[in-house]
Amino acid sequence: MHRTKQAWKVNVFLGLILLTLASFGGMLWKTNNPDDRLLLGLGDIEVAFIFVGIGSIASAWMWCTICCPKYHQSVGKWGMQHCSVSTWFTDLLALKKCPHCGNVDSI
């Protein structure tokens, strides 16, 4: 990812995942403390939608933004479709060449 200057896209994805985890924690907090005003008066449903929304944005970001610069094919999409659920992210980071064109300078 460093050769194609796309490492920042991975960092944005990680930031979105942190926000997703924080919103999941907020959802759990709100479920266990329904009368607490800590979450700015948001209800259970609103907090759940924020959690799902940020998680969806994170997935879409990874799916759409990391691409082979030569053929403009999505490498993030390839990782999500062809790798195990538990290892797709580390498999994606460990790629030595583009899965689409095989070029070592495209990843």
69, 56 in Cβ contact below 8 A? no
Query: Is residue 101 involved in binding Zn ion (CB under 5 A)?
Result: yes
Question: Tokens in use for 78?
Answer: 């390839």
Q: Which of 53, 69, 71 is nearest to 16 (CA)?
A: 53
Q: How far is the CB of 80 from Zn ion (least distance, A)?
A: 17
Of positions 50, 61, 92, 106, contacts Zn ion by CB under 5 A: 106
DSSP secondary structure letter of residue 28: H
Q: Give the contact letters, 15-54, x = binds to Zn ion (CB under 5 A), - = no.
A: ----------------------------------------
